[in-house]
Amino acid sequence: VQLQASGGGLVQAGGSLRLTCDASGQIESIGDIFWHRQRPGNERELVASVSAGDNINYADSVKGRFTITRDNAKNTIYLQMNNLKPEDTAVYYCRSKIRRIGQSGWFDVWGQGTQVTVSS
């Protein structure tokens, strides 16, 4: 099971990007999903999350600008980022709780990062 993140890039302040995270492998179910980021010189932080029951939370710094969604049929999660600011520059990581086919319990799976750079 793996997560593949994509969609990062260079954008001017005020612009938008949509990050995509595709899950693949022997997946029975995807539970809670998360987007994290790590800004230069900072620790990794939680940006947004949505539970299996569709309870959504955002970091205060991105509320009203970022939207996390999931497409269960495609095993894909998204992070729509609008009105981007230079301080949003970071490597963005997706993470998910996944139940593998034939196995009990939930596994924590991380995707590789995707770089988002916002110029002023």
Q: What is the pLDDT at residue 1? A: 92
**Alpha-carbon span 98 to 107, nearest angstrom:** 5
Instruction: Determine the Cα–Cα distance for residues 49 and 32; give it in Å rounded to an integer.
Output: 7
Residue by residue, DSSP assigns 77-90 as: EEEEE-S--GGG-E
Do the strands 56-58 and 107-110 form a parallel or antiparallel pair, or are they unpaired?
unpaired
At 26-82, the pLDDT tens digits run 999 999 999 999 999 999 999 999 998 889 999 999 999 999 999 989 999 999 999
pLDDT tens-digit map of 3-17: 999 999 999 999 999
Neighbours of 54 (CB within 10 A): 8
